[in-house]
Amino acid sequence: MRITGTGHASMRIDTGAGSILCDPWVNPAYFASWFPFPDNSLLDWETLGDVDYLYVSHLHRDHFDAEHLKRFVSKKATVLLPEYPTSQLEDELRDLGFTSFLKTKSNEVHELDGGLKVMIQALISPTDGPIGDSSLWVEHDGVRVLNQNDARPTDLSVFAELGHVHAHMLQFSGAIWYPMVYELPQAAKTAFGKQKRDRQFDRTWRYIDDLKADHVFPIAGPPCFLDDELWQFNDIHGDEGNIFPDQSVFMSEYAKVGGTNGVVLLPGSVSELTTDGIETTHPTDVDEFFANKKAHLEEMRERKAPIIAAEKASWRHPEIDVLGELKKRIEPLLEESIYLAKGVGGPVRFDLVSYDGDAVESIVVDFPGKQVRPYADEKVRYRFRTQRELIEHLIFIDEGDWVNSLFLSCRFTAARIGQYNEFVYAFFKCLSEERLQYAEGWYDEHEKTVEAEDTQLGDWTVQRRCPHLKADLSRFGIVDGNVLTCQLHGWKFDLPSGRCLTSVGHKIRAEKATS
């Protein structure tokens, strides 16, 4: 089996029974904030896109690149489609010209021509990607690989039970806006960033230990930031709180925990994988490349500057009545929302900065009042501040997922009183009837679920499944004193009270074990 690195979470898997292209991403994403690094735009995409199968793990724009898919990927390819609760991924791929789909069943092995076997595990909570994320398992001629990309399964045993995995590809770096955009003192921001960076690695080590593959490939990040306004987010400034460590940092940290089987793929790297071993060739020296990372980024910044300028020129739509359009779009969804509106529990404020940077229009999405209205000088627990033209553009393109556009762009600042509230971001992923109805139904079923099984963690007996997204706490739970941390997403709980310390709601059942 041949694995060709094509950048970020993308790779091409070639077997004797066919080829699979996974998650090709080349064009900038999230308001031209994210670019693939190392740069993959100069690869021979005409050849790489001539494949038998296409796998797009989910709709995040650093995995689903519509422009690139339309231009470079063969429309004769059969799409390996995850079993998602909404049809949006299939609909968007059909709009791009794809017509052949294998609609897989989650956690079910599908045998294709020539003995090629695939299995896709679909994650379907409203907080998994943009309504869904997935992992791809592939087997041919006795060689097995798991492309986990940036999915966070609660359990990898379903893959391990299919036979020993020879190559494990998984995310290790950040893909979020926290804590960089929060209006915090720099010292606090650095401390929170370091905590998140450490949690990312801890989660990665846990997944690696669970699967025990022969070879581990760090993929799905980090992106790079080439706009001058975002340049500080690149991990080149010696900031221990930066959440975007690159593959060279992964290899160093992995070595500290005894890891000796890491394989880095640059765009154009090729790994020949067998049941007995692996041979990898690279287009350039890997160590030397990352040693000169800043110079590579500066060269990319200069080369990509016209692309960023063109993107920025497309955002402004002064003819749009932002308040009026948001009322039309959001108020009907607020009327239908029960669980998300209750979960948010208060007004959320957006401060829109004018083109010249002087005037600010403040708009409130009032969840209890079920309306969008001008800010009325009241206390709010969540506040976002961004450029007016970004909201104009979201309205202009009828964007149904602000998380997968505005928030991941990092082109905003945020402030909050109290804990993180997942319902705020869940709602702004669901600005369409289909998505909202799915999310409401999911939380309805989730709320009714009673977790009866317990596990022992130190001196505490706790419910086995995390109240957040059902991670197995016997594997992901760590107790320090009276605080339980679920390593899958970093959520913390005060065990004596059961209170969630990370977000509103999600109380855990726990009691001190008697001696």
Helix axes 247-256, 186-211, angle to 10 degrees: 70
Would you kindly state where each structural domain of the chain is located, as residue ranges? 2-306, 322-444, 450-512
CATH code for the domain defined by 2-306:
3.60.15.10
Nearest to 293 by CA among 240, 241, 252, 245: 245
Element (H, E) at 207: helix 186-211
C-alpha 113/C-alpha 105 separation (Å) is 18
pLDDT in tens, the chain (515 residues): 999 999 999 999 999 999 999 999 999 999 999 999 999 999 999 999 999 999 999 999 999 999 999 999 999 999 999 999 888 999 999 999 999 999 999 999 999 999 999 999 999 888 777 778 999 999 999 999 999 999 999 889 999 999 999 999 999 999 999 999 999 999 999 999 999 999 999 999 999 999 999 999 999 989 999 999 999 999 999 999 999 999 999 999 999 999 999 999 999 999 999 999 999 999 999 999 999 999 999 999 999 999 999 999 999 999 999 999 999 999 999 999 999 999 999 999 999 999 888 889 999 999 999 999 999 999 999 999 999 999 999 999 999 999 999 999 999 999 999 888 989 999 999 999 888 988 888 887 776 665 678 888 888 888 887 877 667 788 788 888 888 888 766 778 888 888 888 776 678 888 887 65
Strand order across the 143-149 sheet: 110-111, 117-123, 133-140, 143-149, 167-171, 215-219
Omega before residue 130 within 30° of 0, cis: no
Q: Regarding the domain with residue range 322-444, which homologous superfamily does it belong to in the CATH classification?
A: SCP2 sterol-binding domain (3.30.1050.10)
CATH topology of domain 450-512: Rieske Iron-sulfur Protein (2.102.10)
- Taking each helix axis as running N to C, give the angle between helix 433-448 and helix 322-336, from 0 to 180 degrees, rounded to the nearest 10: 40
Burial of 83 (0-12, 13-18, 19+ CB in 10 A): middle
